[in-house]
Structure 1
C-alpha cells in the first residue's frame, strides 16, 4: 500500500472510530468515506492497468480494493440509512483475505511489519463482522475505540515513516506492532465496557455502522 493511501486509511479509520463512539455523526463521516473509498478504488485500478501482468504489483494493488469497497459501502449506508448487515458479512470476507495477505507478507513478501499490520486489520474487520453482520451491538464502543487505536498503529504512524523514507521491517518491529495492537484491543475492551454516558454510537435500523 502506498504511503499516501495508508495515511488516508488512518484518517478514515479515525473518523469512523469516532462515529462508532458517538462523537462524529454518521452523515458527516460519510463524506470522508466517499473521498477515501473512491481514492482506494481509482488508484489500484490505474496500477492494475499499468501492471503489465507483473504479479507483485497486482498483489500489492488487490488488497486496496478491500478498503475502497468498505469505505464506499460505509458512505452509502450512512447517506441512505440502509442497514449494515451486508457490510458486516463483507467484513468477514475482508477479514479472511487480510489473514491470507498477512501470512503472505511474512512468507512471500518478507515484510513482517506489514504482516503484523494486515493481521491487525483482520481482527478489526472481524469485529466489524460481529457488530454489523451478527448484530452484536454491545461491541459498538469496543470496536470504535479499537478502530481509533488501529488507525494510528497501522495507518498514520507507518505512513509517515514511509513518507520520510525511514520505514524499516524486521521481526523485532513486527513484534512491536503486535504488542501495540494487543494492548490497543485490551484498552478498547476496557473502554467499551465503560462506554460514554453522554453519547450514542451511530446506528441505523438498530445496527451500528462503521468500517
Structure 2
C-alpha cells in the first residue's frame, strides 16, 4: 500500500506546487487534497487495524502525518484560511520526520524522510511565520516527483 500512497502524494505535491506558483486559485486544489488525505487516512487505518507490534503503529503514525497534512490543507484552501495553524502543525511534522529518518534502515527512505522534513519546515516558515519563500512552489513539485511519484510508481511496478 506504500506505493499507492506515495504515487498519489506525489501527484498532490505536484498540483500543490503548481498552485503555489499562482497558476490557479488555492481553492481549486482543495478537493484533490481532500481525496489524497482521505486515501492516506484509509491506508493507514488499515495499517493500524493490522498492526501487531509497536513498529507497525510507528509506520502508521508516519503515514498519518501525511494524511492530516492534506486534510488540514484542504480545509485551509476550501475556507480561505490563512493557514497559520497548519504552518505550526508542519513544524511538528518536520521534527517528527527527523525521528522517522533516524529509525529507517534503508538509505533511500532516510533521504526521503529528510527531504520531507525540509519541505514541512519550509511550510512552517511560510505559513506559521508568514515569511514568503519564492522557491517553495518549485521545491514542492521537485519533492513530489523525486520522493513520492517516482518511488511510488517504482514500488507499484515492483522495481523498488
Q: Which residue of 2 aligns with 1:131?
A: 126
Q: Which residue of 2 aligns with 1:28?
A: 28
Equivalent positions of 1:43-192 (< 5 A) are 43-51=43-51, 53-105=52-104, 110-137=105-132, 139=133, 141-167=134-160
Superposition RMSD in Å: 1.1
The structure carrying a bigger helix percent of its residues is 2
CA distance in 2, matches of 1:161, 1:56: 24
**Where in structure 1 are there 5+ consecutive unaligned residues?**
168-211
Q: Which residue of 1 aligns with 2:11?
A: 11
SS state at 1:24 partner: coil
Deviation at 1:80, TM superposition (A): 0.7
**Where in structure 2 are there 5+ consecutive unaligned residues?**
none
TM-score by length of structure 2 reads: 0.96
Instruction: Count how many residue pairs are aligned between Structure 1 and Structure 2.
Output: 160
Larger radius of gyration: 1
Deviation at 1:102, TM superposition (A): 0.6
CA distance in 2, matches of 1:115, 1:9: 18
TM-score by length of structure 1 reads: 0.73
Contact 1:6 / 1:156 at 8 angstroms: preserved in 2? Answer: yes
Deviation at 1:93, TM superposition (A): 0.3
Contact 1:37 / 1:71 at 8 angstroms: preserved in 2? Answer: yes
